[in-house]
Every structure is written in structure tokens, then in C-alpha cells.
Chain A
């Protein structure tokens, strides 16, 4: 006991040490020589004192044309121009008062060569003419200027040019003073020109760490130190050498690395899925913290970091958390439920699994190369195919997605063959458990949709790396990506919700102690949802200006989804009616899911109506909707699934009191966090905004606090899993009195899943036998 206390004390000290190390994870900034910027007399040229004169505008692009290097004493003609910025898109004819600049060189001499450039007396910098009274010239009618620069007597130095340029729209004249004073947008830039013999020291790699990087390094430090503590503790405690400890760990980990057993791979999938769920959850909380109040760029995350954060959050949650958890349960349970010893292709199964962590790591590589992908989980072109998205972060995002797609496709083929060819005697298709049916429909959807996404990703990758023009450029269609993506993307959301329906059907039937109401209609409802899912994708594109007839048709088909979904919900309720309901944790979560999923379904119908979708599209109303169906539907039912099948997988029942606490807190904080998002969305807050209107601060703070608590109470679940693994009650073969074949084998199942392949008999046959 003392040892345990000592160990936990050690861990806490380690964590405190690691956390306190975060702020020091920066090198000292090695910025430009401050004397240069102070030499430019004005802090930017805000000639007209209108517009946002206080801060530079990154869209104004300064360009200084220079030779590659300079020879001592020689004179060069340099060209400075400014482009971009808001004044480029406002109507602009060649005219008065278009721009201005101010330029200072760290060494050498600057001389004007024409009337457009002016060098004030007793100063060393250049600026445009025509600005102040008393100067001749029309330098402020231009956005490009030429001047001479005479190099210094030494060619071993690097000359630094500090430039301020501003873009004005002189056409919008104020009649009172005839000055051009529309928006005045300026930017500054530094250009380096090296002498022929200059030694250039590479100053790269000494930048500040970004917020997410700090987060990653902090977790890295925590995990590494934890590892050291655990290994060290074992060495001291058991008096083993380092090699012996490592050998023991290796012995333990080796079967997991080499297994092709569906139960091991299933467990790996589930653990990996929840692991990524944790990572994605941290990212989600970072989003919420950014939105705690309307923040300026860089207050907590810079806007680019924020964009990466929501991109990785979405991608992680869908592809690396929800789908692996589903595949994990399917892996573990499908062979058991249909009475097979393993999947049809165990090695392909292992390959499919190992592509998942690999693809995930590739996706996350962006964080170590200057910013993860920032294109949103939808990756809309031409933003993602153009030059704007982070590079190489977005390339990693594309590459990782292709790997995950390959993983899902392999797994889908595997399940399809297994379920069609390897069912035990008596298990006809119409006698499969509903979870197995949901997986069967799901793998059809996967096989028909994922390849389209993979193709789209390959085209995107070609656009990004080989310079093809599928998605950007005058001849291409920027909307094409949306068609390809949503053709996959909409079935994808049913891919993650259908298995949840399967889990709910199993749990509700088992804990009502009665057969599911309307088994046949449940199967047909799932198949119908699967079919409809391919003809509704256009409802993501109601505002793109697509053909009205196309939009009208998808509105109709989208509305139709409510019918089979409604059948399922009513059938569950009918199953409970007249049953003998046992309220254990799995049932609590399942019933919570029915409520939250119903709310998500109702908002789905609201969004299907085009006039309302036009108002709600891309606002937080949509965010609320899909969190209600994805967390409140998929995640809740799979958490219920963990409580339900944990006894089968481990042989021990999870603690009921912790489970009840987990359910109550989760359900309350989930609704507190996500319900107000409907209100925020109706008030007009667009999604993917890093900052927002001040009037919504109070609601957003409420959401953020609830979300933090929602994240925090999930630790109860983690604790329960570990605690029950050690101290849980023995489960026995069939703790919940379920009917399907997995309950007919031992808990945990033997190596080959069944001692003897079982035969499924019907209730009528069972009665006759008695």
C-alpha cells in the first residue's frame, strides 16, 4: 500500500514537472535587429488616418525585386511593388492616390532615380512623392517604384531592407479635401540581400513553439517520464535489470503486434479508437477554450492554429475514433454472433488495423512540420487544392486520409465475405442479430462510398503536388470536389450511425427481457436507410447555387430518411412496452441515446428543409445537430456497448455505481454543452469561426464550461474500465441474459472463439425440444 502511495506521488510530481515545463518550451526569440525598425520614422504609413491604420494587413503583398547577391560598391536598380489587399477588389481604375511606401536599408546608400521617389533631406530612407505639400511628382499615383541602391564597400555583409507599403483607393474621394481616403491598408516586410562573400547563418528552427506543439510536447514529456517512472519502479521493486524488464514488456506486447485473432484485433481497434477519441477530445476542448471569449489572433491559438485544430478534431473523431471503435466491436463480435471462428481473411484484418495508427500518425505529422492541415474535415477545394492551405500539413492530411480509406475498404471486404460465407448452422440472414445486420448494411455503404473518396483524395493530391488542375484553375469546377466528397460523406455519417442502431437494438431488447419488436421491419429500415443515404448528399450543397431541381429532389429524399429512422425509434419503444426493464448502465446509456438521437434527428429534419437550411447552413445550429447525432447517437451507444460487452471481453462486470455516475454526469453535461449551440447558431454564429460577436459571449462561456466538464467526467469511464479489470465481479457466460451466440461461449471467449461451432435454434424448436 505504501508503495502504491509512493508511486502515485511520483506520478503526480512528474506531471507537475512536465506541466511546468511547457512555458519554457521556447527558444529565445532571435528576431530582426530592432534598430532597423525604429529607423523607419513612422510606424506604417497611415497617411489618411482612416481604415484600420493601427495594424498591418497581411493581404497587402510587398515585393522587392533584387539581384541574387551584390558586389561591393556597385549600384543596383531595385523595384518595389505592392499588390493584393481590399483595394484590389474594390473597383479601381488607374488614378490618383493609389499607394505609398517607405523604405530603409541597413547598409549602402539609397538614391531616387525619378520624380516618383523622394528622399527627405537629412534622412536615409526613401518614400513616394506627392504625399506632403511642397513635393513634386506623382509617386502616390503608383503601386510600383524604382530606385537605386549603392552597395556598401564590403561584400561580406547582408543588407536588410525594411519596407512599409500601403494600398489606398484614391477613387473614393472625399469631396471636402479631394484626398483619396477609402480604406488605407498597409503591411511591412523585410527583404535580405546578401553580399557575394557573406556567410549566411541559418536562423530557421528557432521560432516559437505553437500552442498545439506545446500541447503535444507536454503530453510527450508526460508519457515519456511516466514510462521512465514505471520502468524504473519495476526495476527497483522486482530487482530486475533493465533488459529483464524490457524483455517482460516485450513478451507482453509481442502477441498484440503479431496477432491475427479477431478478438485481439478487435480490442486493439477499440483501444486505439478510444485513444484517438481522447486526442480528438483534447482538440475539441482547445476549440472551446479558444471560443471562451471573442479572442484576437494569437490570444490563445493563432487563427491558423485554430483552423488546424478544428480540422484535426473533425478528422480524428470521424475517421480515427468513431470508425475504429465500430470496427473494433464488429471485429470482436461479428464472428461470435454468427458462430464463426474468425474473419474470412485474418491477415487482411491485421493489415487493415495497422494502417489505422499509421495513417493517424501521418495525419498528425503536420503538427511537427509547421502546422497541421487546416482545410476542415471536408477539405473543400479550391482552398485545399490551392496555395493557401498549410504545406506540408495538408499534404500529410491527404496522405493519411488515403491510408485510412484503404484500411476501411479492406475491412469492409473482409466483413462482407465473412458474413455471407461463414455463418454457423441455423444462422440464416434473417436470424442474424441486429448488430450483425447493421454491420452488413454498413460494409455495403463502405464499399460503395469510400473508393469515391479515395479517388477524390488522389486527384486532390495530384493538384497539390503535381500541379494538375482538377479543382482549381479556369477550366475546372470548384464544386466537383463537393459532389465527390459528399457522395462519400453522406453515406459516411450513416456508416457511423447504423452500427449504433445495431447496438441499441441489442441492448434494449436484452434489458427489456423481450424479443425486439418488429425484427423484420428493423432490418428493412436499416437497408432502406442504407439505400437512401446515396441519394441525399446534395443537402450539404443547398447554398452552392446548384440546380434547383437537384436541390428539390434531395430535399425530398432527405425528408424520407425520417421514416425508417422513426420506425426504429418506435420499435425500440414498443420493445420496452410490456417488457421487464432492468436499468443497468448499458440500458441507461442506450435510453439516453434514444433521447439525444431523437433531438439530433429532429434538427436533421429542420435542416433538410431548404429555406431553413439556407439560414442555418454552416452555423452552430449544424454543429449542434451533428454533435447530437454523432456523440449523442454513435458515441453514447458505443459507450453503452462497452458496458454491455465488457463482461464478454474481460470476464468481469463493470462497476455499476461508477457507471451510473458516469451516465448521469455525461448526459447532463453533454446536453448543457451542445444544446445551447442551437441558440448560438440561430443567432447567426458561423461554424469554424475563431472569434465571434461579443453579444454571444455569455452563451459561449456556458458551452465551454459544460464541454470542459463533459470531457472531465469521461475520466470516470476510464477509471471504471481499469478498476473493473482488477476488482470487477466475475461475469459468467451470460450476465445480461442475451440471446445471440456470443453469449453462448465463455467470457472471455476461448482462443478459437467457440469450443464447438454452435447451432442457432429458433424459439419454436427450443419449445418442441422441451
Chain B
């Protein structure tokens, strides 16, 4: 049972659920993409099955008038109006989907600057570890105990209800900073500083960690280059 359940159901990353209703933001985009995928897919499959039912060749059927003959270029067949229709309709559809993609993009790319940010974390990726560090003037709240002593190496704890910015870089080869449950991904490039950010007020604080994966192939232990982010509620934060 659970296999069938797995096949037809999936969890939205937290960020997707948390934006907009059905007409804007992530939630809306995901919903519309899903609906249109099903519509287009069904259209093709239903049409295909329909032709197979109604236009099958049966014994004794006469050849169509414009049947093919070897060495003879067949009659041109077509209808400009119909062809224009299925040129313009997909055009409108993809324009609509592109338009829908803009709202979450606008949000995502609007990286908060230093004043708007509550906490900036420096992330350094190296084969095969994630190093995190708080800013030097940051008072680590007392509630931050989940990483224990390994804080900074493959583990970081961030406050809930705040804007957290990750400044990402790599030491040796490409890596990518991926929070699957939150839907954030950003490559870590040696010699380049990239940015990802997260509004923790849209993510549920919890005792379990949010996993961080490395998603840019980096060598032998690539699949073990994992880290954890804890989101913890802070009293006086």
C-alpha cells in the first residue's frame, strides 16, 4: 500500500506551501504546472486512443484517396487555420506559465541586504564537508543546543521567524547547497560568492533537523556530503 501511496503522493517542499494562494507564488505555480501537465498529457493520450478506436484499418477497407505510393511525393495535407491554432495555443500556455514563474522568482531573487537580514551565515563547502560560521558579533542564543559540540561542522542552528542569509563559497571544486524540504538550491563555486536566503517564519521550527545535501557532483564521498540545519525558536530574539 505504501508503495502505491509513494507513487501518487509527494510532499511539497515547505516553501512551496507557504506562498500565495492558488494564483501567485510557489503554491500557485506548482498547482498550475500540475494541472496543465495533466491536461496536456491527457489531451494527447485521449486523442491517440480515440484515433486508434475510430480509424483502425479493417480487412476490406478501401485505401484512402491520397494513399501513399512508392516514389510519389504525396499530396500536401494540412489546414493553416488548425495549424495556427495549435501554434498559438501552446504559445499562450507557455507565456502564462512563464508569467506565473515570475512572482516566486521576484521573491527569490530579491535578496535582502545587510540591514534587512537578521543573521548572515558564512557557508564554506569543501570535499566533503560543510563549514558554517556565525558572524563574529553574533550572540549565539542559549536555546541553540541541538548541534552540540559539532556546531560549525556539518551542522548549524538558526533562529525561527527571522531572515537568514547564507553567503556560500567553495574551497576546491563545485558543490551545491540544497535544502530539499525547503526548496532552496545554490551552487558553491570556488572563487565566487553566491547567496541563498531563507525567511524562517515560513518554515516550521522543529526538533528534527532539515537536511542539507550537496547536489553538484564533487567526487568520491559526494553522496555523504550531508549537513543539518536546525530551526529553533528563540525567546528574546
The chain A residues found within 8 Å of chain B, CB to CB, are 50-51, 58-59, 85-91, 169, 172, 174, 181-183, 297, 303-304, 307, 374-376, 380, 382-383, 386, 388-389, 426, 431, 472, 474, 478-479, 509-510, 512-521, 543-545, 548, 552, 555-556, 559-560, 562-563, 566-567, 569-571, 573-583, 591, 594-595, 598-599, 602-603, 605-606, 609-612, 614-615, 617-619, 675-676, 679, 682-684, 686-693, 698-699, 702, 733-734, 737-741, 743-744, 758-764, 766
Given A580-B64, A598-B41, 18 more A-B residue pairs with CB atoms under 8 Å apart are A172-B149, A303-B222, A307-B222, A510-B68, A514-B77, A515-B75, A517-B78, A520-B78, A521-B83, A562-B90, A576-B55, A578-B55, A595-B44, A689-B222, A737-B69, A739-B68, A741-B70, A744-B70
B127 near A544: Cβ-Cβ < 8 Å: no
In the complex, A418 Cα to B218 Cα: how many Å? Answer: 44
Report whether B67 and A59 are in contact in the complex, using a CB–CB cutoff of 8 Å.
Answer: no
Closest chain A CB from B171 CB (angstroms): 6
What residues on B are CB-neighbors of A740 within 8 Å?
70
Q: A182: which B residues are within 8 A, CB to CB?
A: 149-153
In whole angstroms, how far apart are the Cα atoms of A369 and B69 in the complex?
56
Q: Is B237's beta carbon under 8 Å from chain A? A: no
A605 touches B94 (CB 8 A): yes
Out of A51, A59, A478, A509, name the residue touching B191 (CB < 8 Å).
A478
Query: Inside 8 A of B83's CB, which chain A residues have their CB?
Result: 518, 521, 567, 571
Q: In this complex, what residue of B is CB-closest to A566? A: B90
| B3/A698 in contact, CB under 8 A | yes
A606–B37 contact, CB under 8 A? yes
Report B's interface with A, CB cutoff 8 A: 2-3, 6-7, 10-11, 13, 16, 26, 29-30, 33, 37, 40-41, 44-45, 47-48, 51-52, 55-57, 61, 63-64, 66-79, 82-83, 86-87, 90-91, 93-95, 97-98, 100-101, 104-105, 108-109, 124, 126-129, 131-133, 148-154, 171-174, 176, 178, 180-181, 183-187, 189-192, 194-195, 211, 213-224
18 A-B pairs within 8 Å (CB atoms) are namely A59-B127, A303-B220, A303-B222, A307-B217, A386-B172, A389-B219, A514-B77, A515-B75, A519-B76, A543-B185, A544-B194, A548-B109, A579-B51, A609-B100, A617-B215, A690-B222, A738-B68, A760-B73
Nearest CB of chain A from residue B210's CB, rounded to whole Å: 11
CB distance from B64 to the nearest CB of A (A): 5
Distance of A617 Cα from B185 Cα, bound (Å): 8
- CB B211 to nearest CB in A, in angstroms, measures 8
Is the pair B74, A739 in contact by a Cβ cutoff of 8 Å?
Answer: yes
| Cβ B133 vs Cβ A90 within 8 A | yes
Chain B residue, CB-CB nearest to A475: B191
Contacts of A563 in B (CB 8 A): 87, 90-91, 94
The number of residue pairs between A and B whose CB atoms lie closer than 8 Å in the complex comes to: 342
Q: Do A744 and B71 have beta carbons less than 8 Å apart?
A: yes
Q: How far is the CB of B182 from chain A (nearest CB, A)?
A: 9
Given contacts A86-B154, A739-B68, A763-B66, contact A382 B94 (CB under 8 A): no
Which residues from A are CB-within-8-Å of B220? 58, 303-304, 307
Which single member of A181, A513, A545, A741 contacts B149 (CB below 8 Å)?
A181
Q: Judging by beta carbons under 8 Å apart, are B187 and A738 in contact?
A: no
Which residues of the other chain, A, contact B124 by a CB distance below 8 angstroms?
Answer: 89
Does B51 contact A581, Cβ atoms closer than 8 Å?
yes
CB distance from B109 to the nearest CB of A (A): 5
A766 pairs with B69, CB closer than 8 A: yes
CB of B2 to closest CB in A, whole Å:
7
List residues of chain B with CB within 8 A of the CB of A386. Answer: 172-173
Chain B proximity of A416: nearest CB distance (Å):
22
